[in-house]
Amino acid sequence: MIRLNALTKRHGGTLAVDGLTFEVRPGLVTGFLGPNGAGKTTTMRMILGLDLPTSGTVTVGGRRYRDLETPLREVGSLLEAQSVHPRRTARDHLLYLARGSGLPDRRVGEVLDLVGLSDAAGYPAGGFSLGMCQRLGIAAALLGDPPVLVLDEPVNGLDPEGVLWIRTLLRGLAAEGRTVLVSSHLMSEMAVTADRLVVIGRGRLIAEGDVEDFTGAGAEVLVRVADGAGFGRLLELAGAHVRAHGDELVVTGMPAPDIGRLAASEGVALAELTPRRASLEDTFMELTRDSVEFGAAL
C-alpha cells in the first residue's frame, strides 16, 4: 500500500503539491489524474524518494522509500521512459539494473519476453521508438517482480496493440494483489483500465473514488423540446445544470423522472428524454475546469 498524509512540496515560491492525503490500495489499478501542472509527477517523485517533501509523509508498505532494503524488489517505477544510455542495448541496460540489485540474469530474459522486446534485446536503446522505450521502461519496472508499481504515463507512444497490452498487463498485476498507481491523460483508457481514481489540480486533491462513482455521479439526461431556451431556464430555476446544443439540452443534477414531472407540470411536450452516463472525460473536465494551468480559448 502507498499512503500519503498531508504531503506538501514547495519549489521556491511555487506550491507544487498542497497537503495531499490519499491511499493506493493493493489489488486495484488506481488512476492518478490531473491537468498539466497539477503536481502528479512531483507526487510520484516524492513517493519514490527522488524529491523530499517540504512537509507531510509518504510511505510504501509502511516505510519511506529510502528505508527500503531492496527497492527494485519492492517498488517498480517508470517516470522517464527514455532515460537510458543511447548506446546501451536493452539487454545490457536491464542486466546493469539486475546485477546492481542482486537479481539473477535470467530475470532479464523473462521481462524482455514479457514486454515483447526479445527480438530487439541486442539493439542500442538510442534507436528505439518512443513505444519501444516505454516497453523497456516497463521491463525495468517489473525486473524485481515488485508488489508495488508506480507508472507515469506508461501508454505514451504505444500503438493500439500496445495500449491493449499494457491495459491487460496492469489489470493482471492488480489481480495478483499488487498495488498499481498509474497516471495518464487518456481518459478513455483510464475508464476501462482503472478500478479507482484520484484526481488532483493545482497540487490539491479534488476527488477520489471508484471509476463508477465518477461516471455515475455525473449522469446526464438528454432533453429535446420545441422551446429549448425556455425549458432550460425552468430547469435551472429548479436547480439543474443545463448545457444547450441546438435544440437539445444536456441536463445534470436532476434525474430523468424529475425532469419529466417538471415538463408535465409546465405543459411542455418532450420530444426526447434520454438518461445517459457521463463519460469520464466529461466528468474530469468538469472537476478540473478551475485547475487548468494553461487553457486554450475555445
Say yes or no to pLDDT of 294 above 60. Answer: no
Same structural domain for residues 44 and 188? yes
What's 260's domain CATH number? 3.30.70.100
Same structural domain for residues 61 and 172? yes
Same structural domain for residues 147 and 231? no
Say yes or no to pLDDT of 37 above 90. Answer: no
pTM reported for the whole predicted model: 0.79
Same structural domain for residues 200 and 235? no
Same structural domain for residues 164 and 231? no
Residue type, position 213, single letter: D
Q: Is residue 291 part of a domain?
A: no
Same structural domain for residues 81 and 186? yes
Q: What is the arithmetic mean of pLDDT over 198-205?
A: 93
**What CA–CA distances, in Å, run from 5 to 8, 44, 150, 239?**
9, 14, 18, 36
pLDDT for the residue numbered 296: 46
* Strands laid side by side in the 55-60 sheet: 14-24, 2-11, 55-60
Q: What is the arithmetic mean of pLDDT over 16-35?
A: 96
Same structural domain for residues 145 and 39? yes
Q: Is residue 154 part of a domain?
A: yes
Beta bridge partners of 201: 204
Same structural domain for residues 56 and 177? yes
pLDDT digit string, tens, across residues 109-142: 999 999 999 999 999 999 999 889 999 999 999 9
pLDDT, averaged across the chain:
90
Q: Is residue 65 part of a domain?
A: yes
Over pLDDT 90: what percentage of the chain? 70
Q: Which range is least confidently modeled, 7-11, 34-38, 44-48, 244-248?
A: 244-248
Place of cell 446544443: 245
Indicate the length of the chain as a whole number: 298
What's 21's domain CATH number? 3.40.50.300
Q: Is residue 9 part of a domain?
A: yes
Say yes or no to pLDDT of 85 above 80. Answer: yes
Is 144 in contact with 74 (CB distance < 8 Å)? yes
Same structural domain for residues 171 and 226? no
163: containing domain: 2-209
pLDDT for the residue numbered 22: 97
Same structural domain for residues 179 and 229? no
pLDDT for the residue numbered 297: 43
* Strands laid side by side in the 179-183 sheet: 75-78, 148-152, 179-183, 29-33, 196-201, 204-210
Q: Is residue 225 part of a domain?
A: yes
Q: Is residue 240 part of a domain?
A: yes
- Band (pLDDT 50/70/90 cuts) for residue 32 is very high
Instruction: Tell me which residue of 222, 220, 162 sits closest to 186, measured CA to CA.
Output: 162
pLDDT for the residue numbered 159: 87
Q: What is the number of domains present in the chain?
A: 2
pLDDT digit string, tens, across residues 49-83: 999 999 999 999 999 999 999 999 999 999 987 78
Say yes or no to pLDDT of 198 above 50. Answer: yes
Please identify, among 209, 231, 249, the residue that sits at the C-terminal boundary of a domain. Answer: 209
Same structural domain for residues 118 and 259? no
Which string of DSSP letters, residue by residue, matches the chain? -EEEEEEEEEETTEEEEEEEEEEE-TTSEEEEE--TTSSHHHHHHHHTTSS--SEEEEEETTB-GGG-SSHHHHEEEES-TT-S-TTSBHHHHHHHHHHHTT--THHHHHHHHHTT-GGGTTSBGGG--HHHHHHHHHHHHHTT--SEEEEESTTTT--HHHHHHHHHHHHHHHHTT-EEEEE-S-HHHHHHH-SEEEEEETTEEEEEEEHHHHHHHT-EEEEEES-HHHHHHHHHHTT-EEEEETTEEEEESS-HHHHHHHHHHTTPPEEEEEEEPPPHHHHHHHHHTTS-SS----
Q: Is residue 136 part of a domain?
A: yes
Same structural domain for residues 235 and 196? no
- Band (pLDDT 50/70/90 cuts) for residue 292 is low
Q: Is residue 293 part of a domain?
A: no
pLDDT for the residue numbered 157: 79
